[in-house]
Chains A and B, each alone.
Chain A
Amino acid sequence: MTYLFLHIISILLFLGNTSNELTNSPSEPIVIIVNESIEIDQIDINELIDIYTLSKQRWDDNTRIRVADYKGSQDIRDTFYNALHTTPNNIKKIWLRAQFTGRSIPPIVVDSVDEMWKVVLENPGTIGYVPFNQVPVNAKILLQIDG
């Protein structure tokens, strides 16, 4: 029985070694971008916390806020959530609880900066974040966070 448990664990460890890494220098600033339909031009860190903890789910014009985030353990996530005084794991717990209890729809999860920009561009109400040195030319920027 012990052998069977060890055997299963070793297979799963092998399967799990597949996550993507999106690196971001710890000192690299991060920029908050939104879909151009959103009628505000700036946001403060407390509002950003309310949005990413799902306390605030509607923009002022009543459009539903769609939160976009990166998949996996990536440096840019650590930097972003560090600026929000929390961790990716804690935010994920909050999101899952909200999602599984019907209080929120699932977040949009992306693999790369290009995909983040595409999602923000194409979906009204969407908010996301990208590294300062990769901000798309036409992006609507609400806030810059120093790394």
Chain B
Amino acid sequence: MSCDGNNKRVLVVGYGNPLRSDDGVGWAAAEALAGRLDSRDVEVQSVHQLLPELAPRLSEVELAILIDASCDGPAGEVRRRPVVAAARSAAVMSHGMDAADLLAAARLLYGRCAKTMLFTVAGQCFDHGQDLSPPVRQALGTLLQDIEDLVRGWLDTCPGKGGEDSASLTAPTPAPCLRDRV
């Protein structure tokens, strides 16, 4: 249980800038997932950047799902990869941290970090605006389903705290590591 009395097992964090079109896909996904996942077990947050303040929660939950936009790949491509704690940034700033850095901070400061999966959606447009581009909007359905499957599978089959090896993180239901363009 966290110091704030929160004992949820899964943390979903969508991050990016919702005023920069496709960079807001993390927020859009988080908002949709908040209505689809059981709030008794799953905490959903939308943030602009990954910041050190997330480290305590990442040390408390069993599973963390991070959702971000990506500049790489064809627009709408959904990718997923486990994140392993690694302090790599020489000049981490207040403006944001890398996911691996953040997990490293959680482990250094609080003794453990959650198994973590990063989902990214390749964006097409990062101009000012609050709308997602058509390919990203289309990819949202796949993204949400993948995350929902992963979280539900985790809650059904992995009671209690897991270890820290995100590399071994697999979805209980088959899920491709690299989605084709949708």
The answer to whether A binds B is: no
- Chain B interfacial positions (CB closer than 8 Å to A): none
- Chain A interfacial positions (CB closer than 8 Å to B): none
